[in-house]
Amino acid sequence: MFAEVRSFTDPQQHAGSILGWRQVYDQLGRGSLSSELRQISSDRFQMFQEVLDKRVVQHGFAPQGRLCIAMSLDVGRAPVVQKYEVGTHSVAILRDGEEFVLHAPEGIRFFAVNVDMLRFAKLAALELPQEQLQRLNTVSQIKVPDSVLQRIQQRLHPTFQYLVQGRADLSAAAEQLLEDTLLDIFLDLFNSARDEHCGRQSNLTVSSYLVKRSQELALASIDTPLTVLDLCDRLRVSRRTLQNSFQVVTGTRPVEYLRNLRLNAVRRRLMNSYVEECSIGEVAAEMGFYHLSHFSGNYRELFGEYPSETRRAQC
């Protein structure tokens, strides 16, 4: 079993360190980022907790063959995952390599667990009623009573914190026991799940869709930045609708959000390339930044350093 605690100053290094996940983290909050990752991983299950002090959008794919749940540990503004707010009374769900988008507010503390999907499906078929099995196979979020979440946290967190510090080397039998505990917790969650739909959630679904499509369109023409009017025309929505959607989901204006995605792409390119391979100006131009002084100022405002201060790959 693998266990570690690590700190990061770059969002993509943080994202790439979570075992089994294919994902990109784009920093949206301004200033030098500080984050922490605590994780435990084995062949059959995984638990991790992440803390990021800046607003970040996470996009990628969950591990293949796993059923994943994730919950917020904060009472402040909730993250948005797959078009749903994940507050302190709800749990997000991802299945078997599913694509996801997570909009994480500043200071997020997120806890995630995944287990072998086939083994859980066999257990669920024996125990869960048809209504709950339907949720297991279709929904992206479930609402859970406070008492259930508190019971789960009391069962999980002490063991997780103990193991993640490397204080115990589990035997194969102990790993099996821990996996069974996690599967038992998953069964409790789905047994207790309920639906809560409201007008705000419906509006959030539409807003999340507009943000996702805007991001896809922008990244498809990253060297030629799209304007808000371009997006409105392609999505057939008003400027007000688009502006409000971005504010609700991302906390920023469309122009700033999409510019920050391109700045993150520049940063990743710089960190993964040699100085001799490409200049800062060349990388900036590839991402649609042609006015270098404006680009440099925006880069420093977002990341807390100039592009020339970003560490490049070493020979």
DSSP states of 202-257: HHHHHHHHHHHHHHHHHHHTTTSPPPHHHHHHHHT--HHHHHHHHHHHHSS-HHHH
Please tell me the total count of domains within the chain.
2
Please check whether residues 204 and 230 belong to one and the same domain.
yes
Q: CA-CA distance, 249 to 81, in Å (whole number)?
A: 10
- pTM exceeds 0.85 for this model: yes
Query: pLDDT tens, 184-218?
Result: 989 888 888 775 544 455 678 889 899 999 999 98
For residues 138-160, average pLDDT: 83
Residue 4 has which token pair?
Answer: 């570690």
Percentage of residues of the chain with pLDDT beyond 70:
95
In a domain, 314, yes or no: no
Please check whether residues 185 and 271 belong to one and the same domain.
no
Is residue 112 within 8 Å of 51, Cβ to Cβ? no
Please check whether residues 139 and 268 belong to one and the same domain.
no
Q: Domain span at residue 259?
A: 200-309
pLDDT value for 199: 44
Phi, psi of 143 (to 5 degrees): -90, 140
In a domain, 315, yes or no: no
Percentage of residues of the chain with pLDDT beyond 90:
50
Q: CA-CA distance, 107 to 55, in Å (whole number)?
A: 7
pLDDT value for 132: 77
**Residue 209, exposed/middle/buried by CB under 10 A (0-12, 13-18, 19+)?**
middle
Alpha-carbon torsion 250, 255, 260, 265, what sign?
positive
Provide CB contacts within 8 A for 65, sequence distance 6+.
Answer: 96, 97, 116, 117, 118
Q: CA-CA distance, 207 to 89, in Å (whole number)?
A: 22
Please check whether residues 236 and 283 belong to one and the same domain.
yes
146/259: higher pLDDT = 259
